[in-house]
Structure 1
Amino acid sequence: MTDGREGRTERAEQPGRLSVQATVSDGIRVVTVAGEIDYDTCEELHQALEASGSLPPRVVVDMHQVTFMDSSGINVLLAAYRTHSTADGWLRLAGPTGAAKRALQLVGLDTVIDCHETLNQALNA
């Protein structure tokens, strides 16, 4: 499904399945995630966030299609945030909703990592 933004996003094909797609917009890596982020699926997200390709790494994780996230996803995001910050880069989150947003708020990660309502806001912050 093309959504009018730079790059392309896809919805998860099956419940529980994770789709991760990376594109670049103005030198910023955009990692679009759809589906559930949990113990069984978080390695794919970890790999996408690890391969930033640019220094300093500047990454936005577009989460508007994430339907669930447990502590495994929280740990992956926190580790990526620390890695990118240490390399004088940054990690921002865009569009977390529902259960994913609640998980971020519950552990306070939304106060550590910059969270934005939309991808455009995260790219231009």
Structure 2
Amino acid sequence: MDEGAPVVLRISHRRAGTAHVVEVAGEIDAGTAPELRRELAPEAVDTAAGLVVIDLSEVRFIDSAGLTILAGLHRRSRERGVGVTVVTRQYAVKRALSITGLDELIPVVADLAEALPAE
């Protein structure tokens, strides 16, 4: 990768049964966090789904800006009675969630199938 190339964050939304799945790929840092914040804003996430799954399987790095956004999503969702689950196997992401204690507030699972409710 060219060191001067900007980091791109790819985000997509989809419905999977009763869950709203937000798939994120790239790196989440101060430069890309505003885009993630917009994509996880209350008006962008279908909280009627009852569960919001943030799939970070393709995220290689997350810093405090991204962790703050996840904490905010957790708080807002809890106030509305909506569950949030994070999907990742990435060591760097799991470690950041663990160090901050977010993994004690938000369930973290290894794959999407584990995150989705049984139908």
For normalisation by structure 1, the TM-score amounts to 0.81
Structure 1 match to 2:48: 55
Structure 1 match to 2:62: 69
Q: For the residues of structure 2 that align with 1:36 and 1:86, how far apart are their CA atoms?
A: 28
- 1:95-114 counterparts in 2 under 5 A? 95-114=88-107
Deviation at 1:90, TM superposition (A): 1.2
Q: For the residues of structure 2 that align with 1:28 and 1:49, how far apart are their CA atoms?
A: 14
Structure 1 runs (4+) greater than 3 angstroms displaced: none
Larger RCO of the pair (alpha carbons < 8 Å, separation 6+): 2
SS of residue in 1 equivalent to 2:11:
strand
- Does the CA-based 8 Å contact 2:53-2:87 persist in structure 1? yes
| Matched residues, number | 112
Structure 2 match to 1:90: 83
- Does the CA-based 8 Å contact 2:18-2:50 persist in structure 1? no
**Residue of structure 1 aligned with 2:11, choices 13, 20, 27:** 20
**Residue of structure 2 aligned with 1:120, choices 100, 109, 113:** 113
Q: For the residues of structure 2 that align with 1:42 and 1:32, how far apart are their CA atoms?
A: 15
Over residues 57-101 of structure 1, what are the superposed CA-to-partner deviations in whole Å (9 max), with x where a residue is unaligned? 421001110010000000000000000110011111012412111
SS of residue in 2 equivalent to 1:36:
strand
1:80 aligns with 2:48: no
Q: For the residues of structure 1 that align with 2:50 and 2:40, how far apart are their CA atoms?
A: 10
Amino acid at match of 2:96: A
Deviation at 1:15, TM superposition (A): 6.5
Deviation at 1:43, TM superposition (A): 1.8
Q: Which runs of 5+ in 1 are unaligned?
A: 1-13
Structure 2 match to 1:40: 31
**Aligned Cα root-mean-square deviation (Å):** 1.7
Q: Which runs of 5+ in 2 are unaligned?
A: none
- Does the CA-based 8 Å contact 1:56-1:88 persist in structure 2? no
